[in-house]
């Protein structure tokens, strides 16, 4: 989405999403693009409960989101169940060409959408076997891996790398570097 307010990054949310990873992604986008830089999306606008028990209401439905400029996919204990959602799989597959960052178990969502096939991926060491099931070119457990517009990371704080990679493609390298500096990650 590239309206007068600037580009928007879509972040799919689901019951059990990691609020740490989600928060990191939203913070980076807000630092780079302002308060309207992200839209959380889901199949409905019903409130969801995050992994830590926070209640969040998605901004918009998958079908109602104008074209985003990038995607960020946080992980969390609810990712495996969310990955079975056909609307989410279709949404991710439809936007596979966008700059995308996924962290932790968020890679399961991309895998079920078919977007990891033939690509090198990083991710959590405990998901190595599962990630191989999505037919990537290579799995590098515990590492941050960028392949073209796709950046994949382990869960937790490494989500910052996924968010900064997408931010660099959406808002430019200098803006992303400034956000990293402001977050103490220079």
**What pLDDT sits at residue 5?**
75
Sign of the Cα torsion 99, 21, 84, 36 reads negative
Q: What is the CATH number of the domain that holds 129?
A: 3.40.50.880
Judged by phi (left if over 0) then psi (alpha if -120 to 50, else beta), residue 10 lies in beta
Tokens matching residue 79: 């990712």
Q: What's the pLDDT band for 1 if we cut at 50, 70, 90? A: very low
Segment 105-116, tens digit of pLDDT: 999 999 999 999
Average pLDDT taken over every residue of the chain:
96
- State the total domains in the chain: 1
User: Is residue 104 a part of any domain in this protein?
Assistant: yes
- Whether the model pTM is above 0.85: yes
- Boundaries of domain holding 63: 2-179
33 Cβ partners below 8 Å, 6+ apart?
Answer: 6, 7, 8, 9, 167, 170, 171
Segment 63-88, tens digit of pLDDT: 999 899 999 999 999 999 999 999 99
The three-class DSSP label of residue 106 is: helix
């Amino acid at each position: 989405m590239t309206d007068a307010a600037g580009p928007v990054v879509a972040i799919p949310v689901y019951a059990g999403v990691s609020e740490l990873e989600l928060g990191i992604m939203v913070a980076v986008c807000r630092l780079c693009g302002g308060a309207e830089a992200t839209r959380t999306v889901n199949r409905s606008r019903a409130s969801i409960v995050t992994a830590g028990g926070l209640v969040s209401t998605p901004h918009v439905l998958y079908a109602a989101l104008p074209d985003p400029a990038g995607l960020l996919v946080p992980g969390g204990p609810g990712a495996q169940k969310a990955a079975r959602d056909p609307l989410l799989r279709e949404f991710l597959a439809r936007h596979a060409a966008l700059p995308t960052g996924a962290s932790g178990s968020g890679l399961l969502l991309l895998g079920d959408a078919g977007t990891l096939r033939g690509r090198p991926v990083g991710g959590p060491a405990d998901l190595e076997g599962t990630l191989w099931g999505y037919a990537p070119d290579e799995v590098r457990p515990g590492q941050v891996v960028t392949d073209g517009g796709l950046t994949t990371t382990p869960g937790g704080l490494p989500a910052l790398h996924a968010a900064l990679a997408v931010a660099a493609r959406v808002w430019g390298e200098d803006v992303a570097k400034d956000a990293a500096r402001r977050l103490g990650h220079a």
